[in-house]
C-alpha cells in the first residue's frame, strides 16, 4: 500500500511538473512574440507604420514556418510536438483582450441618447448589408471559379501544381485524424487550460494510472503493482483541485496578494489582473461545463441559446465593467477615471520598451504605466501573431486559386465598406466624426484605431463598433454555421491516419483529468474528407474574417472549422486595405470630403 501511495503521488508530481513546464513554454512563446513585434515596430517606425507590426509579424511567422517546411519536412513534427498545444492555448484565451476596449469606455466619452440611437441604426444597417452581400458574392465567385476549374482540361495539372506549391502537413505523418482525436480528447477532459510537455497514448495512460506509475511507457507499467482504480480516485479533494486549479489559484491570489498590496502600498495592478483572470477563466469554464451538463437537455435549441449567451467575452466584459464601476464608487468623485487609468495606460508594450530604451516620454502616457488591461491586450497581440502558425497548418488553402479569389474579394469589400459605410452613416444623421468611425467598423483593433485617428473619427465609437461586431458574431455563429453546414474539420490530408494518430496521442496535449480512451476516429482516413472546401465554407470564412475580424477568426480556430484559414486571410487583407483607404491619398481626402457633405 505504501508503494502504491508513493506511485500515485509520484504520478501526480510528474503531472504537475509537466503542467508547469507547459505554462512556462506559453510564457516563452508570448515573450518571443512581443520581442518580434517590438523589432518589427522599430523597422516600420521610419514609415510611421508601427501599428502594422502585429500583422506583419503574423505574415512573417507564416512565411518562415512554411519555408522551414519546404527545407526540412520534419519541422512540422517538431511544431506539433512542442508548439501546437501552446499556440492553441494562447488562441483559446486571447479573448480576454477583446473585452478591454468596452471596459475602458468612460461616461464622459459616451454619446447622448439620440446619437446612440443613430449609431445603433447605422450599425444594424451596415452589418446586415455587409454580412449578406459579402457572403452571397463570395459564394457566387468561389462557386463560379470552382465550376470553371473543374471543367477545365488542365484541372488535373492545376491540382497537382497546387499541392506541390503548398502541401499540407500530411507528408510528415500528420493527418485529419490528429485533429479529430485531439478535439475529442479536449472535449472529454473538459479543459484546455492544462498543457503537457509529452503525454503517452490514452490506453497507456489508463494502465499507468491504474498502476500508480509515472508516464514512462508500457514496459514499466506491466512491472508495477496493480492497485484498483479507486486508489487513484480515492481523493475527491485532489480531483477537485486538479480540475479547477486555475479558478482556485486566481481566487486565492486575489485575497493573498492582490488585496493586501492594494491596501498597503496602493499597487492595484495585481488585484486587477487576478480579478480579470478569475472572471475570464470562470466564464470559460462555466460555458464549457454548461454545454456538457444535463441541464436543459429536454430542449436542444434552448440549451444552445443559453450556452451562446454565456459567451466568455460577453460575460467578462459585463462583469469587469461592474468590477471597475464598483471599485470607482468606493473612491468617490473622479473615481472612474482613476480606476480606468490604473487598469490600462492605453500604450502598447513595444512602445513602452522603445520609450524606455530611448529615454523618451510618451505624451499620452508620460509615466509609462502598464496595467492589467494592457497585459490582456499584449496577450491578444501575441495571439494574432501566432496565427501565422495556424495559417501554415492550412497552407494548401492559402496557396490556391480560392485563396487568390478571397484576396480580390476582400480588397473590393474594404473599399466598399470604407466609403459606403461612411456615406450611409451620414445619411442616417450621424455627425462627421461618428460617421468616419464606421470606415473601420469591423477591422481588428490593432488596425482600427490608427485608421480611425488618421481620418479624424471618434475612436471610442469605433472601439465599441469593433468589439460589438465581434461579440454579435460569436453569438450567432453557432446557429448560422450549423445551418449552412460549414465543415468542422480544420485540415485536409491525403493519407491514412494511423501514423498521425499515434503521434498525436504521444505529443503535447491536454492533461486528462480522467482516463480518456482513444475514439473510433483512429480508423478514419482522409478519404472521407472533401478534397476541396465547398464554396459555402470558403464564403463563410471570408464573411467572418471581414465582419467578425479577430474575434471571428478566434472562434473558428476554437471550433476547428475549415473556414478558419480563409477567415484569417480575409481579416488580414481587409484590415490592411482598410488602412490603405483611410491613410493614403487620394482615398483619405475623398473619404473626408464625402463625410463632410
- Dump pLDDT digits (tens) for 432-471: 999 999 999 988 887 888 889 889 998 888 888 888 888 8
- Dump pLDDT digits (tens) for 335-356: 888 999 999 998 999 999 999 9
The pLDDT value recorded for residue 181 is 40
Q: How many CB atoms lie within 10 A of CB 509?
A: 26
Distance CA 143, CA 237 (A): 56
The pLDDT value recorded for residue 369 is 94
Closest CA to 369 of 390, 389, 339: 339
Q: Does the pLDDT of residue 226 top 80, yes or no? A: no
Q: Does the pLDDT of residue 112 top 80, yes or no? A: no
- HEC readout, 55-117: HHHHHHHHHHHHHHHHHCCCHHHHHHHHHHHHHHHHHHHHHHHHHHHHHCCCHHHCCCHHHHH
Read off the C-alpha cell for 551: 474575434
Q: What are phi and psi of 514, to 5 degrees?
A: -135, 160
The pLDDT value recorded for residue 446 is 78
Distance CA 405, CA 145 (A): 8
The pLDDT value recorded for residue 25 is 93
- Dump pLDDT digits (tens) for 284-325: 999 989 988 888 888 888 888 888 889 898 899 999 999 999
- Dump pLDDT digits (tens) for 134-177: 999 999 999 998 888 776 554 443 343 344 333 344 444 343 33
Read off the C-alpha cell for 257: 496578494
Instruction: Output Rg (C-alpha) for the chain, integer angstroms.
Output: 25
Note whether 37 and 385 are within 8 A (CB).
yes
The pLDDT value recorded for residue 304 is 81
Q: Does the pLDDT of residue 495 top 50, yes or no? A: no
Query: How confident is residue 106, by pLDDT bands cut at 50, 70 and 90?
Result: low
**Mean of the pLDDT values across residues 12-34?**
90
- Dump pLDDT digits (tens) for 516-546: 333 333 333 333 334 478 899 999 999 999 9
Q: Does 202 sit behind a cis peptide bond, omega within 30 degrees of 0 on the bond before it?
A: no
- HEC readout, 473-522: HHHHHHHHHHHHCCCCCCCCCCCECHHHHHHHHHCCCCCCCCCCCCCHHH
Distance CA 541, CA 572 (A): 12
User: Is pTM beyond 0.85 here?
Assistant: no
Q: Does the pLDDT of residue 223 top 60, yes or no? A: no
Note whether 514 and 236 are within 8 A (CB).
no
**Mean of the pLDDT values across residues 496-503?**
32
Residue at grid coordinates 481626402: 589
Percent of the chain surpassing pLDDT 70: 76
Query: How confident is residue 64, by pLDDT bands cut at 50, 70 and 90?
Result: very high
The pLDDT value recorded for residue 471 is 84
The pLDDT value recorded for residue 3 is 66
Distance CA 222, CA 229 (A): 15
Q: Does the pLDDT of residue 199 top 80, yes or no? A: no
Distance CA 164, CA 135 (A): 30
Note whether 591 and 422 are within 8 A (CB).
yes
Percent of the chain surpassing pLDDT 90: 36
The pLDDT value recorded for residue 491 is 42
- Dump pLDDT digits (tens) for 234-268: 467 778 888 888 999 999 999 999 999 999 999 99
Closest CA to 70 of 462, 306, 515, 395: 395
Please give the mean pLDDT across all residues of the chain.
78
**Mean of the pLDDT values across residues 122-137?**
92
The pLDDT value recorded for residue 577 is 93
Q: Does the pLDDT of residue 596 top 70, yes or no? A: yes
Least confident range of 408-412, 479-483, 531-535, 567-571: 531-535
The pLDDT value recorded for residue 74 is 87
Distance CA 295, CA 483 (A): 24
Amino acid at each position: 500500500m505504501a508503494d502504491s501511495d508513493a506511485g500515485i503521488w509520484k504520478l501526480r508530481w510528474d503531472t504537475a511538473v509537466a503542467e508547469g513546464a507547459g505554462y512556462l513554454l506559453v510564457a516563452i512563446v508570448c515573450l518571443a512574440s512581443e520581442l518580434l513585434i517590438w523589432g518589427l515596430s522599430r523597422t516600420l517606425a521610419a514609415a510611421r507604420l508601427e501599428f502594422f507590426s502585429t500583422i506583419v509579424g503574423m505574415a512573417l511567422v507564416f512565411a518562415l514556418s512554411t519555408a522551414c517546411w519546404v527545407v526540412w519536412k520534419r519541422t512540422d513534427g517538431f511544431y506539433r510536438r512542442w508548439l501546437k498545444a501552446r499556440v492553441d492555448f494562447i488562441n483559446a484565451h486571447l479573448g480576454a483582450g477583446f473585452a478591454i476596449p468596452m471596459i475602458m469606455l468612460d461616461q464622459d466619452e459616451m454619446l447622448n441618447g439620440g446619437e446612440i440611437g443613430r449609431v445603433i441604426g447605422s450599425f444594424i444597417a451596415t452589418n446586415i448589408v455587409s454580412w449578406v452581400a459579402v457572403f452571397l458574392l463570395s459564394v457566387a465567385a468561389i462557386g463560379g471559379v470552382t465550376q470553371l476549374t473543374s471543367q477545365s482540361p488542365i484541372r488535373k495539372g492545376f491540382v497537382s501544381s497546387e499541392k506541390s506549391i503548398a502541401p499540407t502537413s500530411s507528408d510528415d505523418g500528420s493527418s485529419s485524424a490528429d485533429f479529430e482525436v485531439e478535439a475529442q480528447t479536449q472535449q472529454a477532459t473538459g479543459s484546455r487550460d492544462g498543457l503537457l510537455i509529452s503525454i503517452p497514448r490514452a490506453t497507456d495512460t489508463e494502465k499507468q494510472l491504474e498502476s500508480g506509475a509515472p508516464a514512462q511507457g508500457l514496459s514499466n507499467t506491466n512491472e508495477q503493482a496493480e492497485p484498483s482504480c479507486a486508489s487513484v480516485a480515492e481523493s475527491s479533494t485532489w480531483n477537485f483541485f486538479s480540475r479547477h486549479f486555475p479558478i482556485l489559484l486566481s481566487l486565492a491570489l486575489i485575497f493573498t496578494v492582490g488585496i493586501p498590496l492594494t491596501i498597503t502600498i496602493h499597487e492595484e495592478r495585481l488585484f486587477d489582473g487576478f480579478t480579470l483572470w478569475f472572471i475570464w477563466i470562470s466564464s470559460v469554464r462555466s460555458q464549457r461545463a454548461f454545454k456538457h451538463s444535463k441541464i436543459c437537455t429536454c430542449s436542444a435549441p434552448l440549451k444552445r441559446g443559453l450556452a451562446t449567451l454565456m459567451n466568455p467575452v460577453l460575460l467578462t466584459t459585463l462583469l469587469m465593467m461592474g468590477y471597475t464601476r464598483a471599485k470607482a464608487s468606493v473612491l468617490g468623485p473622479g473615481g472612474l477615471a482613476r480606476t480606468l487609468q490604473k487598469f490600462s495606460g492605453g500604450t502598447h508594450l513595444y512602445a513602452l520598451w522603445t520609450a524606455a530604451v530611448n529615454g523618451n516620454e510618451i505624451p499620452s502616457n508620460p509615466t509609462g504605466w502598464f496595467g492589467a488591461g494592457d497585459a490582456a491586450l499584449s496577450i491578444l497581440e501575441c495571439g494574432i501573431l501566432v496565427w501565422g502558425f495556424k495559417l501554415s497548418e492550412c497552407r494548401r488553402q492559402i496557396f490556391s486559386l480560392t485563396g487568390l479569389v478571397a484576396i480580390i474579394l476582400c480588397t473590393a469589400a474594404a473599399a466598399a465598406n470604407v466609403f459606403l459605410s461612411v456615406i450611409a452613416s451620414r445619411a442616417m444623421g450621424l455627425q462627421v466624426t461618428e460617421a468616419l468611425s464606421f470606415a473601420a467598423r469591423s477591422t481588428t483593433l490593432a488596425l482600427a484605431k490608427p485608421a480611425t485617428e488618421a481620418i479624424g473619427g471618434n475612436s471610442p465609437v469605433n472601439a465599441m463598433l469593433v468589439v460589438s461586431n465581434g461579440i454579435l458574431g460569436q453569438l450567432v455563429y453557432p446557429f448560422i454555421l450549423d445551418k449552412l453546414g460549414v465543415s468542422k474539420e480544420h485540415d485536409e490530408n491525403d493519407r491514412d491516419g494511423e501514423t498521425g494518430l499515434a503521434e498525436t496521442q504521444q505529443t503535447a496535449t491536454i492533461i486528462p483529468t480522467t482516463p480518456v480512451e482513444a475514439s473510433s476516429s483512429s480508423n478514419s482516413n482522409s478519404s472521407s474528407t472533401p478534397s476541396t472546401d465547398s464554396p459555402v465554407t470558403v464564403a463563410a470564412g471570408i464573411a467572418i474574417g471581414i465582419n467578425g475580424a479577430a474575434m471571428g477568426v478566434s472562434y473558428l480556430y476554437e471550433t476547428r472549422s475549415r473556414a478558419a484559414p480563409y477567415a484569417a486571410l480575409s481579416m488580414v487583407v481587409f484590415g490592411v486595405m482598410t488602412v490603405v483607404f483611410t491613410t493614403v491619398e487620394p482615398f483619405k481626402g475623398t473619404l473626408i470630403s464625402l463625410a463632410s457633405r
